[in-house]
């Protein structure tokens, strides 16, 4: 009997430790996200508030109201599902080399009433696979934003980062 009880406890612990945070198959009604990125995380794409902020470097920032279509949100959600954004991540592979300036990405994702914040940095020379997936996701979202007329009216950045 003790052996059976021990086996059950072991099985529960093993299953609990191996459970990943899977995203729902269907996009939830309350799905929303924001991502801050770049040097100083001054660029923002925010579907919660329908806002995009563009870093103009020495000229400050510029803001535009932008909303995603239902199809765009579905495409973004599907990309997030592929990389399982809610699962555990390893954003640093090799800390032996760093670069400056570097940027941070800060994601806030709401799914079924739960919000999760995910942050990673481009400080290290070699990005982990997880960091590359999030970088690709951010660029996918940014490419959608860049096609919107509201974004196209924003001024170009002035200057640069050293």
Encode pLDDT of 78-112 as tens digits.
999 999 998 888 787 667 777 788 889 999 999 99
Percentage with pLDDT > 90 across the chain: 65
CATH number at 21-152? 3.30.1560
Closest by CA position to 128, among listed 106, 95, 104: 95
Contact 66, 46 (CB under 8 A): no
Between residues 123 and 57, the one the model is more confident about: 57
Give which of 29, 77, 73, 28 is closest to 50, Cα–Cα.
Answer: 73
110-123: average pLDDT: 92
pTM here is 0.82
Which residues fall within 8 angstroms of residue 80, CB to CB, at 6 or more apart? 23, 33, 109, 137
Q: Cα separation of 5 and 143, whole Å?
A: 54
Q: Which residue carries 């800060």 as its tokens?
A: 106
- Res 95: pLDDT: 73
Is 1's pLDDT higher than 60? no
Q: Is the pLDDT of residue 130 over 80?
A: yes
* Domain extent listing, the chain: 21-152
What pLDDT sits at residue 8? 44
58-74 average pLDDT score: 97
Q: Which of 21-30, 49-58, 71-80 is predicted least confidently?
A: 21-30
pLDDT for 126 equals 80
With a cut of 80, say whether residue 14 has pLDDT above it. no
pLDDT at 2 over 90: no
């Amino acid at each position: 009997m003790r052996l059976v009880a021990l086996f059950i406890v072991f099985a529960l612990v093993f299953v609990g430790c191996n459970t990943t945070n899977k995203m729902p198959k269907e996009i939830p009604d309350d799905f929303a996200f924001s991502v801050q990125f770049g040097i100083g995380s001054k660029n923002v794409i925010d579907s919660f508030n329908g806002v995009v902020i563009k870093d103009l470097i020495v000229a400050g920032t510029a803001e535009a109201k932008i909303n995603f279509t239902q199809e765009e949100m579905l495409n973004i959600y599907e990309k997030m599902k592929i990389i399982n954004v809610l699962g555990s991540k390893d954003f640093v592979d090799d800390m032996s080399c760093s670069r400056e300036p570097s940027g941070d990405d800060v994601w806030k994702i709401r799914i079924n009433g739960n919000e999760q914040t995910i942050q990673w940095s481009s400080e290290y020379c070699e990005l982990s696979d997880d960091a590359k997936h999030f970088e690709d996701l951010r660029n996918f979202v940014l490419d959608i934003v860049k096609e919107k007329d509201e974004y196209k009216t924003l001024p170009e950045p002035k200057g640069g980062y050293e």
